[in-house]
Chains A and B, each alone.
Chain A
């Protein structure tokens, strides 16, 4: 079998909208932008797409479209690529890693930080506590919590850079 095709655009959309959205969400970190970018991917990709393309071909094509769409989003907002979609990821890995890979990577990152840095980032980013609530949890002042949060983020960013280079 050379590969199944989708019966129509509707099926292409249904089968792929969730992972495209998740991929975008993981790259921009907010719902409104992730929705806009997902819409742009499908608007761009579906119009010229004919469904005789096989399922893996369609997915690859969507991923490439997403890559281009994200690049122009960051170019426009920041003049540089804050995040990017990697080009050559095997299809299976690409689909699954969208959902499962991110928390794992973040856990590893957090484990490399000193305790109070790890804690403030967990409270603020992962558990959605306000600065005030996080400060109370940690038994520190709000001002201290703010400073701690930014230092922690700086260190996380540095440690991330070291880990990847």
Chain B
């Protein structure tokens, strides 16, 4: 009967504060629901905060990473367990509908084992990969010259270019701009923009990415690349 339950709840909804415990009756709950719907319909208020998305990503990485390390104590554990979706996924009304192995998605932080090498073709030429204006400080740019492909980035006003091919099995890397990472679609390996191996889930860390010679000349960025076969 008391109106206070609803009032208190609505005041908090309007201030954007988290929900407190209460004991509403049917009609009070109905009013709360209406208040939530009204508040949630406010334009532009339902996009997640960038910091939240990034932070949760980091927490998940840590969480899954811990499980992985724990898991790897068993040397006989199969390296790649699969999720078996039991019967139809429609049955997944239960979270238990998924029969699953432990996580091994978690990337492992790596130590540097292999030194980074420079890509030095026997015969090469300076080839244009883009205009200098297209690469602002802190930016990165992908390029494909046929014989080679890679990514060039500018950090502290310095240009650096690395190969765009994973050193594990040769899959083509993709640029994850927001995280400044080059990611491999095959085994979740990731490299920094300067080519260092950052995370992987392989028994042995893949070597870092080879570096290209790169220069900026007359507003053009050029990479020293092998000549195309005639």
Contact = CB atoms under 8 A, between A and B. Distances in A.
Contacts of A124: 14
A7 interface: yes
Interface in B1-53: 3, 6-7, 10, 12-14, 16-24, 27, 29-43, 45-49, 52-53
A148 to B, nearest CB: 13
Interface string B144-183: 0000000000000000000000000000000000000001
A56 B19 CA distance: 32
Contacts of A28: 19, 36
B83 interface: yes
Given A10-B188, A46-B103, A78-B24, A38 B48 contact: yes
Interface size, A (range):
35 or more
Nearest to A101: B41
B92 interface: yes
B143 to A, nearest CB: 23
Contacts of A52: 82-83
A103 B43 contact: yes
B32 A82 contact: yes
Given A78-B23, A80-B24, A26 B40 contact: yes
B40 A47 contact: no
Interface in A14-53: 17-18, 21-22, 25-36, 38-39, 42-53
B83 A46 contact: no
Nearest to B10: A153
Contacts of A50: 81-83, 100-101
A103 B82 CA distance: 41
Contacts of B22: 77-78
B33 A153 contact: no
A60 interface: yes
A157 B41 CA distance: 15
Contacts of A42: 56, 60
Interface in A65-112: 65, 68, 76-80, 82-83, 87, 99, 102-103, 105-107, 109
A99 B48 CA distance: 12
Given A21-B48, A124-B14, A157-B27, A48 B98 contact: yes
Contacts of A17: 48, 53, 56
Given A9-B105, A21-B48, A26-B46, A57 B89 contact: yes
Nearest to B56: A39
Interface string B64-81: 100100000000000001
A28 B32 CA distance: 10
11 contacts: A13-B57, A26-B36, A30-B39, A34-B48, A39-B56, A53-B85, A64-B92, A82-B24, A99-B46, A125-B38, A153-B34
4 closest A-B pairs by beta carbon, nearest first, are: A50-B83, A29-B36, A125-B38, A48-B100
Interface of B: 3, 6-7, 10, 12-14, 16-24, 27, 29-43, 45-49, 52-53, 56-57, 59-60, 63-64, 67, 81-83, 85, 89, 92-95, 98, 100-103, 105-106, 183, 185-186, 188
Given A17-B48, A51-B105, A154-B31, 18 more contacts: A9-B60, A27-B36, A27-B40, A30-B12, A32-B18, A47-B63, A49-B103, A61-B92, A78-B21, A87-B93, A102-B40, A102-B41, A125-B41, A126-B42, A153-B10, A156-B34, A156-B38, A157-B27
